[in-house]
Copies of this chain bind each other. A is one copy, B any other.
């Protein structure tokens, strides 16, 4: 039996999603799930991940399937597995069983799709082979996902309206993924005192995810070099003075993501300098979450975090000047060169396949500013929206070593004082925050953020 067939059926929620879509677009839509991709040769594949738009409306990760959505109805296109399939891969539910489980109104073999796809809008599939089939079947070329036009663009915009606001079925999955990520981080902290390499901590964290039958939502970052923002390396040794930054999140069987970062001391105790910076980052994190509610601009949260961190760095004597002026001049971006966070849902950067269409409200575009250009989300908050809040402080050699930066910010940065904080290479604190009617619900709140609580979790493994 396929694992997801043992989950409660999401058929009612899927029906409501289709109804909401039908209220926004008239044209039928066809979405493809995609297929497995060969890793080193065709039969040795990466773990299959269904296309997120397909998952949103079909609910379950069917491979090589398509759905047609029209006026609130769902048609499923799926071939029956052959007899050799049962020998090698076991019995899997047939077309009718799947159709019942997802609440489809009709189900057909894939060969029927051609006749029923005429004139349908679509969103590009993830893998190139499926995309080629999609182009052929619809008899038209498809631009890249972030450059859609006409009916496809209208479909994308409608899907964004839906996916921006999570329903209870989605929230159930998102909470499950968050809960597993919390346990993974706790396990990572606990093994740290006895671990020799970053890889051992990573193994403990991903082990929790695997044991809970989930996948990692993105390539884990588990490193003592937190100053490398997307550090894919995990072979470094751990030494007692290091901070370990872990950005690891689980994805549920049905594809819903979580995304947590914590930064803890290898020794179990932050040094005074590490603790001082940690508390500044935490203050920014807390200030953002405290001010979140419907209507608040996400960009303002970003600027709030920048201002809180700038103020903290002024207090420490690392920066000089008024915090608001420092932020205006992008001085904060020397230490905090990324955005305060992003949308979270079926994708860890939700709907990033559509470029900035989901992240940026209509009419808004990325800023050219050093301190704002990396902001992935620029919309007013609304109830049902799930975002990450992830301020960070990094000492990045390519930014600090740049003579242009050093000259431009000569008056604003006390480089000598900063040199006393050399044991702080990178700190990030990231939680998954749901906007509610009245404020927020932090889905990852079970994992502490306060320095003393983190220290206790690490020391418990010593």
Contacts and interface: CB of A to CB of B under 8 A. Distances in A.
A212 interface: yes
A396 B42 CA distance: 26
A235 B234 CA distance: 28
B229 A211 contact: no
A233 B253 CA distance: 11
Contacts of A49: 39-40
6 contacts: A40-B347, A45-B219, A89-B229, A203-B206, A203-B209, A207-B210
A348 interface: yes
Interface in A347-361: 347-349, 351-353
Nearest 4 A-B pairs (CB), nearest first? A90-B228, A203-B211, A41-B353, A207-B207
Interface stretch (A80-88, A265-273, A410-418): A80-88
Contact of A352 (B3, B37, B43, B207): B43
A408 interface: no
Given A128-B129, A207-B207, A231 B40 contact: no
A409 interface: no
B39 A126 contact: yes
Interface of A: 1-3, 6, 37-47, 49, 51-52, 83, 86-91, 126-129, 145, 197, 199-200, 202-204, 206-213, 218-219, 225, 228-235, 255, 337, 346-349, 351-353, 396-399
A222 to B, nearest CB: 10
A337 B87 contact: yes
B2 A233 contact: yes
Given A39-B46, A218-B44, A230 B199 contact: no
Nearest to A227: B90
What is the oligomeric copy number?
2
Given A206-B206, A207-B203, A213-B234, A41 B90 contact: no
Nearest to A34: B40
A126 B37 CA distance: 10
**Residue from A41, A49, A91, A208 having most chain B Cβ neighbours under 10 A:** A41
Contacts of A51: 40
A203 to B, nearest CB: 4
Contacts of A204: 207
B90 A225 contact: yes
Contacts of A235: 3, 6, 213
Contacts of A145: 41
Contacts of A91: 397
A164 to B, nearest CB: 16
Contacts of A229: 87-89
Contacts of A348: 44
A233 B192 CA distance: 31
B347 A41 contact: yes
A36 to B, nearest CB: 10
A349 B44 contact: yes
A41 B206 contact: no
Contact of A213 (B83, B199, B346): B199
Given A87-B399, A91-B397, A204-B207, 19 more contacts: A38-B126, A39-B126, A40-B346, A41-B352, A44-B352, A86-B397, A86-B398, A87-B229, A87-B398, A90-B228, A90-B233, A128-B128, A128-B129, A199-B213, A202-B210, A203-B209, A203-B210, A206-B207, A213-B234
A269 to B, nearest CB: 24
A105 B47 CA distance: 38
A49 B207 CA distance: 22
